């Protein structure tokens, strides 16, 4: 085949895969937001059929030969086509190196394992989940062998979510961070913290939604290219750059959860809404990695949405939405209240300071699993020990301990570190941005134009055409450097109680 | 291949096609109910990719050989498998007989033609649509040649929506019906009709929705296997028997439109919710034809939802929902009001009596098109003539005339007759049902259990395993017989003004 012909074929294969991905995302969105209770069976058959097409297209002789041919000519390709080749090759290798039968057995296992986790979590019974978890881990160990990236076995898993990330980098990051966090938590707890308590009050859903939409738009979410809906757990789904959907969950006894989760998801969404339109519907037309994605959501949620200047601008508007509940609450009180720090058991409910400690617990345990240093049946006890060590508390119930996260049941090992990495990246990006933009002043004016423009230009638009390291280097002038995050946290929480 | 192996392959191919169909239906549902304004582009690419897979799977060597093999062994197959072979063969032939390039060019044409119609309709300018319509017609004439069913060329098109339906049958039906309708309209117009007028009143959407859901459930819609949403035009979408979705459109100045369209779509939905679960997600797991489908929606909307006994039972509840607006309106007035008869210009807004006249106009014109008796440029004038002839009125504007329906722009020739056929079938079914069930008494008691059970047993559960003629014959003891419909209309409207 000529190079031109191969590029054409590449484009065709990419669009076909993207069409399937579009369908799968929409089905998943629908399942979590609207689909009727008893609709599971038809959906399962549909998803299975679509994933067969996906597998057959990705692991086809056609794909193999197109990728081989174009890899040899990569210098001659446009940036876009070169990126497509690189990303498709990665995806191809992930699957091609695993025997087809094992892969399909694993998919079946994940379905079972997820249900088993759900039941185990509801019944607080780790033993019923353990046999599935064992099999999931076993597969992942084999998977590491098939795809060995070199070095620590866990590197192979890390690499799936954050290209080129290694145990060495994460170890260094967490070692530095841990010391600072533990002393920071101690310092903060000596201070008179403020806990916002709205017991007995009601925050109407419709008003929360109205304010959420107002803030989304102000932050730069293009409302005619996206949707805000409701679901049990908030998430972002991407159909195309012009159709990015987020959800939140409204609690009528407190508005904070929905508000901050909306701001978080808006960070993810604005990333996707600003991918270069030239990519079309493509495997490269999405955020480059979990860590870089999370950096955007954390930047919006924490660095902006839990900052003082942000609320200097928007607090009056919020008060106007909930006058009865907030008229007696001063801005300073509100600010401290949404930054309340407390060692707690559940990761997803943790504050900005203790959150990374939850991630470290998981990271330590996952590393041990893939170093063959812990058995599945020992995990509940190990979890308790690590929580004692990192947070000074531990859960009586496994449902609030080792069973709290869905990730392992879905085989997502190596994923957790990207949450902490995201926060650290966000500080590094904010620091870089501050060289040309007075971020605090912009927040105080509620003006996100220049901020979002900087993010678009330096991060968003590239999608997967750059690796995380390339993004960091080009946007901030250096590779990942945790010092900005450590400084950010220290300054923020020291200033708060000055 | 052994028969067992071929059956397995058939099952696999059927499920793969059904998975794609599921995705296409969901994307279409989403586009009409929720998707953001600017999301068109990504969706178009996704739909194109999915339809490529669909085409390639249906017109594959694999499908061809499986169908050939199993057609030879059809006697040995289970009823389900035999039906799958029959239906897939029909679908296969429809596409396989058309050269692939022509088919894909036609699909591109339809996309353009639909947009052209939309613009032409909005601008009331037939000339801008005419060149597209010419091409669509041209393709359909070629299509008839490729697939010639014998007899009148229009038979081939009719057969696509109503298997085995011929011009002869429709001509006979419409000749009988026309005479009766025209004299019936004259009779009714002599009587003191009641026009419900709620000018200046407001029917809150939330209350309309609440009542719609109440009625759906009472009619037998399984609420945990479906959804009621809103869209510009009401429709039913089928993802699986356990996920059937309908929409309605609420007008706050009048509740009748949303209420009766909900009842109509509920008729479609209950059909689909009661397909035999043994069929799984399959090409045979849906209503057998447009006409049989429409018979269920019309039965619910007209024979039940516009009947006196139905409202004897439910009118108090409706009054309770809108007490201010309805307390002064007597049941008899209400009943006559929802059965108001008037010659009008727009098919979708027509009453039960004049509706078939709108269909006849379209049928006559379509027949002439495929008999090469009329040119595209002559259609606006022909439309006006036929409306004058059939309804005694005609539109000044083509947007309310020849441009009012989307169908031709989408190439749906041969489709319109199924609307009128549906009404006629419904009367035939009601008559058959009445032999074992006192339908009027059931309606009066608001009790749909036995009625829906009869429909399930005689119509719904079979999906596409029976042809329309088989359904009619088995359920009513005879093939299509328009006399029941003619009697039904005559009796209903004569009794109303006795």
Summarised one tens digit per residue, pLDDT across range A188-235 is: 989 889 999 998 999 999 999 999 999 999 999 999 999 999 999 999
Cβ of B240 within 8 Å of Cβ of A19? The answer is no
Judged by a CB distance cut-off of 8 A, whether residue B25 touches chain A is: no
Judged by a CB distance cut-off of 8 A, whether residue B60 touches chain A is: no
CB-nearest partner of A280 from B19, B27, B45: B45
Give exposure, B71-104, as e/b (b: 16+ Cβ within 10 Å).
eeeeeebeebbbbbbbbbbebbebebebeeeebe
* End-to-end Cα separation, chain B, in angstroms: 69
Give exposure, B373-408, as e/b (b: 16+ Cβ within 10 Å).
ebebeebbebbbebbeebbeebbeebbbbbbbbeeb
Cβ of A45 within 8 Å of Cβ of B223? The answer is no
Interatomic CA distance for residues B426 and A382, integer angstroms: 68
Residues of B in contact with A222 (CB under 8 A): 38
B265 catalytic per annotation: yes
Q: How many A×B Cβ pairs under 8 Å?
A: 152
Interatomic CA distance for residues A479 and A484, integer angstroms: 12
* pLDDT tens readout for residues A342-359: 999 999 999 999 999 999
CB-nearest partner of B41 from A16, A26, A240: A240
User: Which residue in B265, B301, B366, B430 is the catalytic one?
Assistant: B265
Judged by a CB distance cut-off of 8 A, whether residue A275 touches chain B is: no
Determine contact, residues A156/A144, Cβ cutoff 8 Å: yes
pLDDT value at A306 more than 90: yes
Interatomic CA distance for residues A206 and B134, integer angstroms: 50
pLDDT reported for residue B1: 76
In chain A, what is the greatest distance between 2 CA atoms, to the nearest angstrom?
A: 73
* pLDDT tens readout for residues A48-85: 999 999 999 999 999 999 999 999 999 999 999 999 99
pLDDT reported for residue B472: 98
Distance from CA of B45 to the nearest CA of A (A): 7
pLDDT reported for residue B497: 86
What is the mean pLDDT of the segment spanning A309-333? Answer: 97
Mutate to test the interface with A, among B9, B12, B19, B229 (most CBs of A within 10 A): B19
Determine contact, residues A226/A273, Cβ cutoff 8 Å: yes
* pLDDT tens readout for residues A419-439: 999 999 999 999 999 999 999
Residues of chain B with pLDDT under 50: none
* pLDDT tens readout for residues A360-392: 999 999 999 999 999 999 999 999 999 999 999
Residues of A in contact with B14 (CB under 8 A): none
Mutate to test the interface with A, among B243, B279, B285 (most CBs of A within 10 A): B243
pLDDT value at A498 more than 90: no
Handedness of CA A269, A274, A277, A280 (dihedral sign): negative
Determine contact, residues B257/B247, Cβ cutoff 8 Å: no
Residues of A in contact with B48 (CB under 8 A): 15, 19
Instruction: Look at residues A244, A219, A261 and name the one whose alpha carbon lies nearest to residue A451.
Output: A219
Instruction: Look at residues A292, A241, A244, A236 and name the one whose alpha carbon lies nearest to residue A264.
Output: A236
Distance from CA of B245 to the nearest CA of A (A): 9
* pLDDT tens readout for residues A241-299: 999 999 999 999 999 999 999 999 999 999 999 999 999 999 999 999 999 999 999 99
ipTM: 0.95
Mutate to test the interface with B, among A33, A213, A222, A243 (most CBs of B within 10 A): A243
CB-nearest partner of A281 from B23, B46, B224: B46
User: What is the DSSP code (8-state) at residue B145?
Assistant: H
Tokens of A460: 């968003």
pLDDT reported for residue A170: 98
User: What is the DSSP code (8-state) at residue A2?
Assistant: -
Cβ of A224 within 8 Å of Cβ of B37? The answer is yes
Q: Which of residues 375-394 of A touch B (CB under 8 A)?
A: none
User: Which residue in A69, A265, A272, A430 is the catalytic one?
Assistant: A265
Q: Rg of chain A over CA atoms, in angstroms?
A: 23
Determine contact, residues B86/B38, Cβ cutoff 8 Å: no
Own/partner pairs for A77-82, CB < 8 Å, 24+ apart? A77/A7, A79/A465, A80/A278, A80/A279, A80/A284, A80/A465, A81/A7, A81/A10
pLDDT value at A1 more than 80: no
Tokens of B59: 């017109």
Distance from CA of A22 to the nearest CA of B (A): 6
Cβ of A39 within 8 Å of Cβ of B242? The answer is yes
Share of chain A above pLDDT 90, in %: 97
User: Which chain A residue's Cα is nearest to B47?
Assistant: A19
């Amino acid at each position: 085949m000529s190079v031109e012909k191969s590029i054409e074929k590449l484009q065709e294969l990419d669009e076909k895969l993207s069409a399937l991905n579009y369908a799968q995302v929409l089905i998943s969105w629908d399942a979590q937001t609207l689909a009727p209770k008893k609709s599971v069976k038809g959906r399962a058959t549909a998803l299975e059929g679509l994933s067969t097409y996906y597998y057959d297209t990705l692991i086809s002789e056609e794909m193999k030969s197109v990728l081989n041919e174009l890899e040899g000519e990569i210098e001659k390709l446009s940036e876009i086509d070169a990126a497509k080749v690189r990303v498709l090759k990665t995806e191809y290798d992930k699957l091609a190196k695993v025997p087809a039968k094992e892969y399909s057995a694993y998919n079946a296992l994940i379905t079972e394992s997820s249900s088993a986790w759900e039941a185990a979590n509801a019944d607080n019974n780790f033993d019923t989940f353990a046999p599935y978890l064992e099999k999931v881990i076993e597969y992942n160990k084999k998977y590491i062998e098939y795809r060995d990236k070199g070095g620590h076995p866990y590197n192979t898993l890390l690499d799936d979510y954050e290209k080129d990330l290694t145990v060495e980098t994460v170890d260094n990051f967490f070692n530095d961070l841990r010391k600072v966090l533990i002393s920071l938590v101690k310092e903060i707890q000596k201070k008179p913290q403020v806990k916002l308590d709205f017991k007995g009050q009601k925050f109407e859903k419709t008003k929360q939604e109205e304010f959420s939409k107002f803030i989304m738009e102000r932050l730069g979410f293009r409302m005619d290219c996206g949707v805000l809906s409701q679901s049990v757990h908030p998430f972002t789904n991407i159909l195309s750059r012009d159709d990015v959907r987020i959800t939140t969950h409204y609690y009528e006894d407190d508005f904070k959860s929905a508000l901050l989760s909306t701001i978080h998801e808006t960070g993810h969404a604005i990333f996707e809404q600003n991918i270069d339109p030239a990519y079309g519907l493509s495997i490269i037309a999405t955020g480059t990695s979990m860590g870089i994605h999370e950096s955007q959501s954390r930047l919006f949620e924490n660095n902006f949405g839990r900052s003082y200047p942000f609320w200097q601008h928007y607090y009056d508007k919020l008060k106007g939405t909930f006058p009865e509940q907030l008229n007696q609450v001063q801005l300073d009180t509100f600010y401290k209240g949404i930054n309340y720090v407390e060692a707690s058991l559940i990761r997803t409910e943790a504050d900005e300071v203790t959150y990374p400690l939850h991630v470290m617990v998981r990271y330590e345990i996952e590393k041990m699993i893939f170093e063959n240093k812990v058995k599945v049946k020992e995990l509940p006890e190990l979890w308790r020990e690590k929580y004692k060590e990192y947070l000074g508390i531990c859960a009586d119930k496994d449902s609030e301990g080792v069973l709290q996260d869905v990730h392992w049941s879905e085989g997502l090992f190596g994923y957790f570190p990207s949450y902490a990495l995201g926060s650290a990246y966000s500080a590094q990006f904010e620091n870089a941005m501050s060289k040309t933009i007075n971020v605090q002043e912009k927040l105080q004016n509620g003006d996100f134009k220049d901020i979002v423009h900087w993010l678009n230009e330096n991060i968003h638009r590239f999608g997967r055409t750059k690796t995380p390291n390339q993004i960091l280097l080009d946007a901030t002038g250096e590779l990942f450097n945790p010092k900005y995050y450590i400084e950010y946290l220290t300054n923020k929480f020291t200033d708060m109680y000055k």
